[in-house]
Amino acid sequence: MLSAVTDLGSIESTVSKNLPVVSIHQLGLCLSRASASVLNLNCSLILLPMCRTLLAYLRGSQKVPSRRTRRLLDKSRTFHITCGVTICIFSGVHVAAHLVNALNFSVNYSEDFVELNAARYRDEDPRKLLFTTVPGLTGVCMVVVLFLMITASTYAIRVSNYDIFWYTHNLFFVFYMLLTLHVSGGLLKYQTNLDTHPPGCISLNRTSSQNISLPEYFSEHFHEPFPEGFSKPAEFTQHKFVKICMEEPRFQANFPQTWLWISGPLCLYCAERLYRYIRSNKPVTIISVISHPSDVMEIRMVKENFKARPGQYITLHCPSVSALENHPFTLTMCPTETKATFGVHLKIVGDWTERFRDLLLPPSSQDSEILPFIQSRNYPKLYIDGPFGSPFEESLNYEVSLCVAGGIGVTPFASILNTLLDDWKPYKLRRLYFIWVCRDIQSFRWFADLLCMLHNKFWQENRPDYVNIQLYLSQTDGIQKIIGEKYHALNSRLFIGRPRWKLLFDEIAKYNRGKTVGVFCCGPNSLSKTLHKLSNQNNSYGTRFEYNKESFS
Amino acid sequence: MGQIEWAMWANEQALASGLILITGGIVATAGRFTQWYFGAYSIVAGVFVCLLEYPRGKRKKGSTMERWGQKYMTAVVKLFGPFTRNYYVRAVLHLLLSVPAGFLLATILGTACLAIASGIYLLILWDRR
């Protein structure tokens, strides 16, 4: 916005000072140039949040020590969407202004400065201007591409038909190629010989043939058309005396600024995609596939040189299931120094996961817990991309963290718990409140073993207050339920009904006075909104709750 | 690819095209260009398309997010019965509506966008066959 305003301001002031009568056009040009500046900036910035590997690296590196800066990275998707909306609005302004320009170029064709005209002759049909010049044609194509991309990027489409959004959004590359051609038309020119032909100068050749008195001449010709180059306007507006032209004005096309703006981020993005492609080209080795209750499947695998931090996610690509689709899943177990295995838990929800499950777990053996060894030879090839960062990595960097999971949303916290089971001392975290809300009692069996082991470990190390587990069963049919006979610790921490958040927050605030508590939520939107609101409320104990949010489409 | 519900996208496109037609029409009539009456037509056509496409159709499976205040428009659209329900009629209607706007420079983009929306509706019909 700032660039548009300053550009508009400078153009308007020079134009108004020098040209009470403008030969070619005024407002249309200003608006189109100003909106072009904004578009330059946004088209270059919009690519940066999509360099996910770079963002994951920044999140984990020592170069970003401040938590506030890392929290900015959480908002990268929102930033991308904001830039997109800005591009949409200012493209509208730009197109409208140029349509007016096209008309003006043809109607007000200037015979004095033939080079400055975009039209080839007076009253050229503006539609011809639009479709037969390079900027015009590329502009029209870009608008069509932008139209397709924007209509497919609305929230409703992303939530219901993600494929349409994904396939049309890949047209961005066409958009950038067209943009590069669009500015190469050389329409905007600046005058190269301002010293020998300053604006407002008098051409002696023309006046010698006319017998008019000098003062009259001055008053008529002082309003000479101002060439389009605005490079040195200030000096000439102050001159009190009039200069004599030595030669005819010469014009040269401006260097397309857009190339400078977009080349950096575009190269960065292309480099990142190339790096990700090379990195993900080697398939993983699937060690085991485990079927869990409530339609959840766990896959454990190994890959050479794969390192991940707890809380990060990967995308799975299985060509036997779908050649083009990639699906993101949070890691539930990260590779450590001693153990290279990592794993994901997938909930079987859509057609991709269903087909994936059918390939890995043939229908006959879907009831049993672990797949017989003999089937492992027939596993399909699986490629992973990542790991990519997420806000949940931050939970180990708070002294006190509150982690709330809804259903399958427990997966990011599972990797945190696995890491704590391995070794909790290197991290800043000293107390973890873990709340898990599920609809079905069987869902708790996904990580019941992990939770019990963790609980026992901290009891034995004499740190019983390190992890506070609360499990909630939100829907019940009245029958008393338990998770399993052997899970004593969990059964005593199982509550029926929804959690009472206000009481919980008050309790945490009371026992952690004056501290900053990191709140993390992975679950339905309504849960997230409630927690966000409660985190922002003040409490009488001086405890600050910082809400960290991840947005899923 | 067969699982994609194109109708939702066609609906969004048609709604956006309606808005583009209205904007182009305003630019054309405000500037009083030659043949500005095409601009006036474009505004009217844009408003009509927007009202027709405002109710979001129900999805085949899964929940549909309704647009705010859509139920009032749905009652009106339902009155026309099969004319509005049928995608073939919609596709042809959009195509016909888009043609007059193509004569004026300011509204030519509205034409292109509405024609694309009409094309997607036709794609749905071709897919179903």
Residue among A147, A148, A165 with most chain B CBs within 10 A, to mutate: A147
State how far the Cα of A224 lies from the Cα of A21, in Å rounded to an integer.
8
- A103: nearest CB among B3, B33, B113: B33
Please give the share of chain A, as a percent, with pLDDT higher than 70.
Answer: 78
A354 at interface of B, judged by CB pairs closer than 8 A: no
A89 at interface of B, judged by CB pairs closer than 8 A: no
Q: What is the average per-residue pLDDT within A266-277?
A: 94
Nearest to A322 by CA among A386, A273, A381: A381
Confidence of residue A111 (pLDDT cuts 50, 70, 90): low
Q: Is residue A307 scored above 70 in pLDDT?
A: yes
For A313, phi then psi, to 5°, come to -130, 160
Confidence of residue A213 (pLDDT cuts 50, 70, 90): very low
Whole-number average pLDDT of chain B: 81
Domain boundaries for CATH 2.40.30.10 within chain A: 283-360+379-389
Confidence of residue A303 (pLDDT cuts 50, 70, 90): very high
Q: Is residue A172 scored above 50 in pLDDT?
A: yes
Q: Is residue A375 scored above 60 in pLDDT?
A: no
Asked whether A157 and A180 are in contact (CB, 8 A), the reply is no
Q: What is the average per-residue pLDDT within A486-498?
A: 88
Which tens digit of pLDDT belongs to each residue from A360-372? 887 665 555 555 5
CB atoms under 10 Å from CB of B41, counted, come to 20
- A152: nearest CB among B1, B9, B64: B9
Residues of B in contact with A94 (CB under 8 A): none
- Please report the DSSP string for A27-86 in residue order: HHHHHHHHHHHHHHHHHHHTTGGG-HHHHHHHHHSTT---HHHHHHHHTHHHHHHHHHHH
Asked whether B54 and B15 are in contact (CB, 8 A), the reply is yes
State how far the Cα of B77 lies from the Cα of B58, in Å rounded to an integer.
14
Model pLDDT, residue B108? 84
Which tens digit of pLDDT belongs to each residue from A73-110? 888 899 999 999 999 999 999 988 888 777 777 766 66
Model pLDDT, residue A229? 45
State how far the Cα of A103 lies from the Cα of A106, in Å rounded to an integer.
5
Model pLDDT, residue B110? 87
Confidence of residue A217 (pLDDT cuts 50, 70, 90): very low
Number of helices followed by number of strands (H, E) in chain B = 6, 0
Confidence of residue B36 (pLDDT cuts 50, 70, 90): confident
Tell me the pTM.
0.83
Q: How far is CA A331 from CA A126, A334, A347, A369, A549, in A?
A: 57, 6, 13, 21, 18
Model pLDDT, residue A221? 44
Residue in A with minimal Cα distance to B1: A163
Place of tokens 């007059």: B100
Asked whether A358 and A294 are in contact (CB, 8 A), the reply is no
Confidence of residue A9 (pLDDT cuts 50, 70, 90): low
Residues of A in contact with B65 (CB under 8 A): 155-156, 159-160
Which tens digit of pLDDT belongs to each residue from B76-114? 777 777 677 778 888 888 888 888 888 887 788 888 899
CA-angle at A118, arms to A114 and A120, nearest 5°:
65
Confidence of residue A14 (pLDDT cuts 50, 70, 90): very low
- What's domain A283-360+379-389's superfamily in CATH? Translation factors (2.40.30.10)
Model pLDDT, residue A109? 62
State how far the Cα of A227 lies from the Cα of A200, in Å rounded to an integer.
10
Task: State the smallest CA–CA distance between residue A334 and chain B in angstroms.
Answer: 34
B31 at interface of A, judged by CB pairs closer than 8 A: yes
Please give the share of chain A, as a percent, with pLDDT higher than 90.
Answer: 46
Are A130 and B23 within 8 A, CB to CB? Answer: no
- Please report the DSSP string for A166-193 in residue order: HHHHTTHHHHHHHHHHHGGG---EEES-
State how far the Cα of B40 lies from the Cα of A275, in Å rounded to an integer.
53
**A253-280 burial by CB neighbour count: b if 16+ within 10 A, else e?**
eeebebeebbeebbeebeebeeebeebb
Are A144 and B62 within 8 A, CB to CB? Answer: no
Residues of A in contact with B4 (CB under 8 A): 161, 163-164
- B8: nearest CB among A126, A148, A157: A157
Q: What is the average per-residue pLDDT within A40-47?
A: 94
For B70, phi then psi, to 5°, come to -75, -25
Domain boundaries for CATH 3.40.50.80 within chain A: 391-552
- B4: nearest CB among A102, A126, A163: A163
HEC-encoded secondary structure of A82-136: HHHHHHHHHHHHHHHHHHHHHHHHHHCCCCCCHHHCCCCCCCCCHHHHHHHCHHH
Model pLDDT, residue A317? 94
- A143: nearest CB among B4, B62, B109: B109
Confidence of residue A552 (pLDDT cuts 50, 70, 90): low
CATH code for the structural domain at A391-552: 3.40.50.80
Model pLDDT, residue A297? 93
Which tens digit of pLDDT belongs to each residue from A539-548? 888 899 999 8
Are B105 and A130 within 8 A, CB to CB? Answer: yes
Model pLDDT, residue A452? 93
Nearest to A516 by CA among A428, A378, A401: A401
Are A151 and B16 within 8 A, CB to CB? Answer: yes
Interface of B with A in 66-95 (CB under 8 A): none
Which tens digit of pLDDT belongs to each residue from A405-453? 998 999 999 999 999 999 999 999 999 999 999 998 889 999 999 999 9
Sheet with A342-347: strands ordered across: A285-292, A296-302, A342-347, A327-333, A313-317, A383-388
Task: State the smallest CA–CA distance between residue B9 and chain A in angstroms.
Answer: 6
Task: State the smallest CA–CA distance between residue A424 and chain B in angstroms.
Answer: 43
**Range from A65-74, A185-194, A377-386 that averages highest in pLDDT:** A377-386
Residues of B in contact with A100 (CB under 8 A): 27, 31
Task: State the smallest CA–CA distance between residue A126 and chain B in angstroms.
Answer: 7
Residues of A in contact with B113 (CB under 8 A): 144, 147
ipTM of the assembly? 0.87
Among the listed ranges A51-60, B28-37, B62-71, which one has the minimum average pLDDT value? B62-71
Model pLDDT, residue A403? 95
* Contact pairs from chain A to chain B, CB under 8 Å: 70
Are A96 and B62 within 8 A, CB to CB? Answer: no
CA-angle at A141, arms to A137 and A144, nearest 5°:
145
And the tokens for A506?
Answer: 């008050």
B124 at interface of A, judged by CB pairs closer than 8 A: no
Q: Is residue A469 scored above 90 in pLDDT?
A: yes
Which tens digit of pLDDT belongs to each residue from A130-156? 788 888 889 989 999 999 999 999 888
Model pLDDT, residue A30? 86
Which tens digit of pLDDT belongs to each residue from A187-205? 666 667 777 777 777 666 6
One-letter amino acid at A204 equals L
Q: How far is CA B73 from CA A167, A217, A523, in A?
A: 31, 66, 34
Whole-number average pLDDT of chain A: 81
